[in-house]
Amino acid sequence: MTQHGGSGQWTAADAGDQHGRIAVITGATSGLGLETARVLAQHGATVVLAGRDPGRTEAAARQLRAELGQGLAEAAGSPAAGAGAPAAVETDTVQTAELDLASLESVRAAAADLSGRFPRLDLLINNAGVMMPPYSLTKDGFELQFGTNHLGHFALTGLLMNSLLAAPGSRVVTVSSNGHRAGRMNFADLQSARHYQKMAAYGRSKLANLMFTYELQRRLSAAGADTIALAAHPGTARTELTRHMSGLSQGALDPRFGALNSWWVQDAKMGTLPILRAATDPAAIGGTYYGPGGFMQLTGYPVVVTSSGRSQNKEVQRRLWVESEQLTGVTYPV
């Protein structure tokens, strides 16, 4: 096992040198996605912030470029810096892509754009998501949570697979949730048309994220591909994803009550660590699931964790894959 610092805990500092790697992160305008992009860029990766609102996405990119430029300028001015230390970040280190996962047309356009820009893609982080909104549909008629969290990412990954396969050691990291444990894969009502319960639908979409990861890894292995698929979850993290939760639930997450809730809620920086470990740890193995190592996987430093028994049902994984192909019209080259 890789040793980490003096405490043995994996932190962002352990992400290592990412120069030469190209990473696409969905939902990267705030929260976990933006923090993931920030750390990867700080370690040298070219990051592509993919988001549905071009204005917000470009604003996030400008923010990152400014932070990176300031960091490099400070490093150049430090006594330890050499005479040739860089004073500004390269403009193409942080890029953007327009992507609305609730629209297959947008997913196809984004994939075409990204494939054109990057024939070789080292890292795809399927992070974007919606959590427990009122019942609504995607532009293609799918229940919003299942359509965005799972089907949109299923389609995007398949359409970018050739670029991923072209990069030795590439990875697909899909972000799930502890909420997957409440999920049931009801193929008779995948779109919750008969009955919508927002937590149940969220759990189903997060269960689908894990089943997709496990089935994708099995297919990549069978094809002898060098690409691997992994999953991660942030525990209970304070992000914009909780905006549809009740006022009481949001109050329980408030950092002002840290003395009471710190055992079960953490900030975005800590919540991002399992994603970063899945993306960068050289010891990571395909099909691995990372999450916080604390009580009930709610908080803590990232470790390998187990998912529910339902998520590991290979027959249901295969059926979900076939259903997803039929619903999206996207097939994989593996």
| Two tokens, residue 142 | 């799918």
- The C-alpha atoms of residue 300 and residue 279 are separated, in whole angstroms, by 18
Element (H, E) at 326: helix 314-328
C-alpha distances in angstroms, 244 versus 123, 202, 269, 278? 30, 12, 21, 28
Q: H-type helices in 78-197, by residue range?
A: 104-117, 144-145, 153-165
Per-position DSSP letters for 185-235, written without gaps between them: --GGGTT-SS---HHHHHHHHHHHHHHHHHHHHHHHHHTT-S-EEEEE--S
Q: E strands of the chain, at which residues?
A: 22-26, 46-51, 94-98, 123-126, 171-175, 228-232, 289-292, 302-304
| Two tokens, residue 103 | 């629209």
| Two tokens, residue 87 | 């004073």
Determine which one of 135, 196, 202, 214 is catalytic: 202
* Beta carbons within 10 angstroms of residue 254's beta carbon: 12
Whether 202 sits among the annotated catalytic residues: the reply is yes
3-state secondary structure at position 80: coil
The answer to whether residues 156 and 26 touch, using CB atoms and an 8 Å cutoff, is yes
The answer to whether residues 55 and 294 touch, using CB atoms and an 8 Å cutoff, is no
Selection from 89, 124, 115 nearest residue 213 by Cα:
124
Binning the chain into helix, strand and coil, the percentages to the nearest 5 are 50, 10, 40
HSE value, Cβ hemisphere, 13 Å, CA-based, for 152: 36
Give every CB contact of residue 181 below 8 A, 6+ residues apart in sequence.
203, 307, 308
Residues that are catalytic: 202
